[in-house]
Amino acid sequence: MSYASELQARIDAAVADRDKAALDALLDEHYRKADAPPQAFDAAIELKPEYEAALGGGQFESAAAMRWANRIARARRRVDYALKLVGPFDGLRIVDEGDSWFQYPLLLEDTIDHLAMDNDKAIYSLSGAGDLLQDMVRHNEYLAALRDTGAHVLLLSGGGNDLLGSGRLAAVLRQYRDGAEPADLLDQTALRRQVEVIAGQYRALLANVNAHHPGVRVFGHGYDLPFPQAAGKWIGRPLADRGIPLDIGREVVGLILDAFSRALKALPADLPNFEFLDMRGVVGNNANSWFDELHPKDTGYGRVADIFRDALAASEARLRASGRVFPGIELPRVDRVPATGGPALEGAGGTIVLDPGHGGPTPPSSVGGSSWNNAIGPRGTLEKTLTLDVANRARSVLESRGHRVVLTRTTDVNLSLAARAGVAKANGAAAFVSIHFNASDTHTAQGTETFVHGSASQASRQLSLLVQDAMVAELGHRDRNRAFHPSGIKPANFGVLSPSGHDPSTAAVLHEVSFLDRADEETRLLSPAYRDRIGRALADGIGAFLGGAFEMGGAFEMAEAELGDAIELLARERGTTVTAVLGFAERVPASATGVGAPAVHVGGHALLEAGAGYTAGYTAARDLGTVLAERYGRGAPVPGGTDDATDADEASEFRGEDPGPGLVIAGGALEHAFQGVPADGFDLDAFERFIGGLRLRFFQPVEFLFLGNGNAAGGCAGRNALPPRQLWDNIRNTARMIDEIRARLGAPVRITSCYRNDAYNACVGGASASLHKQFNAIDLKCDAGTAAHWHQIATSVRGSDPAFAGGIGLYNTFVHIDTRGQARDWTG
């Protein structure tokens, strides 16, 4: 592991543990004060010598070195943001994007540091010392941050680097001459061009925000006039190079900053979502107020923060009254005040806690039993994103009806199962609903289900029935509660429902809306109108519960283990893991709480829902189909491909195509695909150990045994065989390569051809020198996207690791990869 990877792991661990002190220690460990900022609006810090080569590319003042400082500092602010939102938070959610006036990683308390001290502000920070406005516009990180946080405000600090950094100040200065006025020492045409470019970038950014988040207000600022220093790198030196005295030079810089401010002040005329804050005279009119010739001292930054506070306070009523929720929602906009009038209802006025399931960074990430994500759609839609979206929609409806609603998370963070329940307990919640989306091992299941804990109260069972009935009525999906439990009550000991974590008076349920891994359901879920319906159904069910109780009897059995959601319950029933069942969840660290056996993956397709689970061991005398069906779980047969392979006119040595659909990892499908293939003579256990040693994330050993159409009806039936042991090592790098391709595609990948013996290769028209015969080549297809896209990703992966050097062929319905040791490309 490189030192950079090690450092990133330490950052990730500190974020997962919400350990701000550890992140502070990382900055202190790696950085020290520098004589001057490496760039105009960078921080005046540098890597310590012992870390220079590992993190800075051999340069003390390199951009890479500053990126690591910014990364650590941003991570610390993300922890601050997450902690502020763990409990009830009725303040202002803010996103910031900017330069070193917003992010000075060490030595100073900058503007955002001061604002973040306010209890009524939760600030999600994107800022980085040295950031250019042009990069902020190009990367558009603020759009996703505004979407994910639901923030009403964007604070913007940009243009200083674009105006004064990297020789730009020198480019607008003229040579000094006695008696010259400050304006005479400026190339006005060059300055006007620079300012017009910056104003255009602001205009593009603001228009982008307005188009995607029309309710968001953006606050930007000008810069106060600093004091040039004789030895100053960014102002003093360019002035000296033109012979301009420092006192006159300060006036010249003032004219530059005035031109910048005038351009920004003019923007609200056609971009009313923007408010400009003038900082002239705010920091202090003496050199002692400045840390260097670009940055204020702590007290100066504090005065800048006060200007932002005043502006936010003046507009907050309007911002909060807008009631902005997620894009696409059309719901009443009301202030968050209790409803008045009408009869008092049982439970009315009680707090509702909605728990958007999962969250947080990509693997490895598991917090107190809560995985970062379980279900995923064929097009890559993540469960954690949808749960937060529909929770916000349900909250909006409930609040419009006068209820008080608290979310366990309002951004992309992960909380332990106990912490999620703790939010309900701290708020004395009347109702707690943990929201999830489901998935199955066949990717064909559908339905809605709602769970209670095995020892649930009568109130929890009432809430379960009402939420379930409301969602089934709204979406029309199968009622999976009554399908499996006549009482309509479905018990499972999910950790987030544990009675020990909740107040006895809280009704607590876990709701699985629908099956995200179905292509048709994912398409529906991508529609804001459909997600509105889900939000309303949740609100209807919860509202019905708070509106009155009803009697319900009946006992039910209790599950045995504390679990995270229905997918983990399915995994337990299989005697395996979520990753084995679904095939797309990432590995988690060894320290994370898992379910069942160590994580394994199938390339996106796994066991049938009614399967019997994993059965180790087999008798060599039986055929491999029976062995694999028992080992990976039985289920209804899923036929393989039925088309004969045909000759193709290919511009390569690979002359044939396996047109079958690829292996489906289901018990019946395995039995069908390998029926009649003798198990004796092939050491399946040894092969599984070999593939297991590659530490693949998404593929099980059996997938590399796929026989193409060797067992399908047609002229090539029965001609293929399993790979001889002496060839196994040839697939090592190709297996690793397809695993990385699968990761980047973000959707299930099937192997349609792998090993071919001589007889089968000849039958399908393969070249005599085909690398399939050497167990080095794989033909693949993905359940999402086009062959051209798969080819593009494969080419990118090949360039990422010398071990992946080899051939890549693009065909109409699949992509060929091998790792022969040298790059070769063709189109079939």
Directed axis angle between helix 188-212 and helix 141-149, to 10°?
Answer: 30
Q: Which amino acid is at 420?
A: R
Q: Give tens-digit pLDDT for 238-287.
A: 999 999 999 999 999 999 999 999 999 998 776 778 999 999 999 988 88
The partner residues of 382 in beta bridges, in order of sequence, read 376
List 825's β-bridge partners, or say none.
808
Binning pLDDT at 50, 70 and 90, where does residue 186 land?
very high
Answer whether residue 583 is part of any domain.
Answer: no
582: in domain: no
| First vs last C-alpha separation in the chain | 39
Least confident of 52-61, 316-325, 448-457, 756-765: 316-325
Whole-number Å distance between alpha carbons of 340 and 333: 16
Most confident of 476-490, 551-565, 718-732: 718-732
Do 150 and 58 share a domain, yes or no?
yes
Exposed e or buried b per residue across 540-574, where buried means at least 16 C-beta atoms within 10 angstroms of its C-beta = bbbbbbbeeeeeeeeeeeebeebbbbbbbbbbbeb
Residue 390 has pLDDT above 60, yes or no: yes
Per the prediction, the chain carries an average pLDDT of: 76
Q: What residue has token string 């008092």? A: 344
Q: Are residues 374 and 483 in the same domain?
A: yes
Beta-strand ranges (E) seen in 516-588 are none
The confidence band for 731, taking pLDDT boundaries of 50, 70 and 90, is: very high
Q: What is the DSSP letter of 586?
A: P
Starting at the earlier edge strand, list the strands of the sheet with 217-221. 121-125, 92-98, 153-157, 217-221, 274-277
Supply the pLDDT for residue 15. Answer: 76
**What is the DSSP code (8-state) at residue 290?**
B
For residue 597, give every residue at least 6 positions away whose Cβ sits within 8 Å of its Cβ, in sequence order, or none.
Answer: 575, 576, 577, 580, 614
In this prediction, residues 46-64 reach a mean pLDDT of 61
Question: Using alpha carbons only, what angle is made at residue 196 by residues 195 and 200, rounded to the nearest 5 degrees?
Answer: 115
Domain membership flag for residue 74 = yes
From its phi and psi, is residue 504 left (phi > 0), alpha (psi between -120 and 50) or beta?
Answer: alpha
How many alpha carbons fall within 13 Å on the CB side of residue 426? 13
What are the structure tokens assigned to 549, written together?
A: 């109780």
Q: d(Cα 329, Cα 199) in Å, to the nearest integer?
A: 32
Angle between helices 49-56 and 3-16 (to 10 degrees): 90
- Residues 463 and 515 placed together within one structural domain of the fold: yes
Which of 310-319, 560-569, 675-684, 775-784 is the most confident on average?
A: 775-784
Query: Could you give the dihedral angle defined by the CA atoms of residues 54, 57, 60 and 63, in that order, rounded to the nearest 10 degrees?
Result: -120
| Span 595-620, average pLDDT | 27
Q: Which residue has the higher pLDDT, 144 or 577?
A: 144
Residue 650's CATH number = 3.30.1380.10
Tokens describing residue 362: 């990509």
Find the mean pLDDT for residues 430-444: 88
CA dihedral 555, 559, 563, 565 (to 10 degrees): -60
Q: Are 470 and 541 in contact (CB under 8 A)?
A: yes
The owner of tokens 């079958």 is 660
**Residue 214 is assigned to a structural domain of this protein:** yes
d(CA 748, CA 739): 11
**pLDDT tens digits for range 120-169:** 899 999 988 777 888 888 888 898 888 878 888 999 999 888 888 767 89
Statement to judge: residues 655 and 765 lie in one domain: yes
Mean pLDDT value across residues 468-481: 90
Residue 41 has pLDDT above 80, yes or no: no
Domain identity same for 283 and 367? no
* CA geometry: angle 288, 291, 296, nearest 5 deg: 90
Residue 38 CA to residue 16 CA, distance in Å, equals: 31
12-16, 193-197, 429-433, 528-532: the lowest-pLDDT one: 12-16
- Residue 87's pLDDT band, with cuts at 50, 70 and 90, is low
pLDDT at 411: 84
Q: Is the pLDDT of residue 171 over 70?
A: yes
Which DSSP state fits 575?
T
Percent of the chain with pLDDT over 70: 74
Query: Is there a single domain that holds both residue 218 and residue 302?
Result: yes
- Residues 306, 367, single domain; the answer is no
**Percent of the chain residues topping a pLDDT of 90:** 30
Residue 314 counted as domain residue: yes
- pLDDT of the residue at 362: 62
Locus of tokens 């530490």: 695
365 and 292 in one domain? no
Q: Picking from 270-274, 395-399, 629-633, which range would have the lowest pLDDT averaged per residue?
A: 629-633
Give me the phi and psi of 423, to 5 degrees please: -65, -40
In this structure, the answer to whether residues 315 and 377 fall within a common structural domain is no
Burial category of 183 from C-beta neighbours within 10 Å (exposed 0-12, middle 13-18, buried 19 and up): exposed
Whether pLDDT at 350 is above 60: yes
Q: How far apart are CA 102 and CA 304, in angstroms?
A: 10
CATH number at residue 398: 3.40.630.40
Q: Which of 276, 300, 321 is the C-terminal boundary of a domain?
A: 321
Number of continuous H segments (helices) and E segments (strands) in the chain:
27, 20
Residue 588 counted as domain residue: no
| Encoded amino acid at 820, one letter | R
In order, the DSSP letters of 713-772 are SSTTTT---PPPGGGGGGGHHHHHHHHHHHHHHTS-EEEEE----HHHHHHTT--TT-TT
* Final residue of a structural domain among 298, 321, 344: 321
Considering only CA atoms, give the Rg of the chain: 31
Judged against a pLDDT cut of 50, whether residue 804 lies above it is answered with yes
Q: Which residues contact 401 (CB under 8 A, 6 or more apart)?
A: 339, 539, 543
Give the residue numbers spanning the domain of 362: 352-570
| Token code pair at residue 724 | 């001889």
pLDDT at res. 586: 31
Look at residues 420, 412, 387, 369 and name the one whose alpha carbon lies nearest to residue 86.
420
Q: Which pLDDT does position 809 carry in this prediction?
A: 92
Among 421-435, 513-527, 687-701, the range scoring the smallest mean pLDDT is 687-701
Looking at residue 2, what is its pLDDT? 75
| Domain count across the chain | 3
CATH assignment of the domain containing 121: 3.40.50.1110
**Would residue 464 count as lying in a domain?**
yes
- In this structure, are residues 648 and 702 in contact, taking their beta carbons and an 8 Å threshold? no
Angle at 221 between CA 116 and CA 101, to 5 degrees: 50
pLDDT at position 824 is 92
User: Residue 78: which pLDDT band, with cuts at 50, 70 and 90?
Assistant: confident
Distance CA 612, CA 631 (A): 9
Rounded Cα distance between 592 and 414, Å, is 13
Same domain, 700 and 754: yes
Residue 163 CB burial class (10 angstroms; 0-12, 13-18, ≥19)? buried
State the average pLDDT over residues 405-418. Answer: 88
Among candidate residues 321, 338, 364, the one where a domain is terminated: 321
Is the separation of the CB atoms in 768 and 740 below 8 Å?
no
221, 311 Cβ separation under 8 angstroms: no
The β-bridge partners of 371 are: 366
Helix axes 624-632, 684-692, angle to 10 degrees: 50
Query: Quick check: is 79 in a domain?
Result: yes
Statement to judge: residues 507 and 656 lie in one domain: no
Q: How distant is the alpha carbon of residue 339 from its chain centre? A: 37
Residue 346 vs residue 44, higher pLDDT? 44
Q: What is the DSSP string of 623-652?
A: BHHHHHHHHH---S------SPP-B---SS
Higher per-residue pLDDT: 527 or 87: 527
Both 291 and 439 in one domain: the answer is no
Question: Does residue 73 surpass a pLDDT of 70?
Answer: yes
Q: What is the per-residue pLDDT for 550?
A: 36
* Residue 32 token pair: 């020290």
**Between residues 24 and 331, which one has the greater pLDDT?**
24
CA distances for 231 relative to 21, 36, 38, 228, angstroms: 35, 10, 14, 9
